Amino acid sequence: MTESDVKNKIEAGLDCHSVTVAGDGYHFEATVVSSAFEGKRPVARQQMVYATVQEEIASGDLHAISLKTLTPAEAGL
């Protein structure tokens, strides 16, 4: 998978203000800003993002992803 692939999957599965992804093809770091995170605990936010890439994790195409999840206010937007 490419950084673009991961970004597109997250954006397709979650209404996001912004998504940035960096990685090496198997291990990625993503920062996701979404108003859908309002009022959600960090674990719930991460579960929302993991759900968008669950198939890739299950198939082994995506080995690991580290997430930073922010609301627009937390991101200063």
Q: What is the mean pLDDT of the chain?
A: 94
Q: Evaluate if pTM is beyond 0.85.
A: yes
Q: How do strand 18-23 and strand 27-33 relate by DSSP bridges?
A: antiparallel
- Is residue 76 in some structural domain? no
- Is residue 75 in some structural domain? no
- Is residue 45 in some structural domain? yes
pLDDT at 69: 98
- Is residue 15 in some structural domain? yes
Q: Is 67 helix (H, G, I), strand (E, B) or coil?
A: strand
- Is residue 52 in some structural domain? yes
CB environment 1-33: b (16+ within 10 A), e (fewer): bebebbbebbeeebebeebebebeeeebebebb
Total domains present in the chain? 1
Contacts of residue 45, Cβ cutoff 8 Å, sequence gap at least 6: 37, 67, 69
Mean pLDDT calculated for residue range 45-57: 95
Range of the domain at 62: 3-70
The domain that contains 49 carries what CATH number?
A: 3.30.300.90
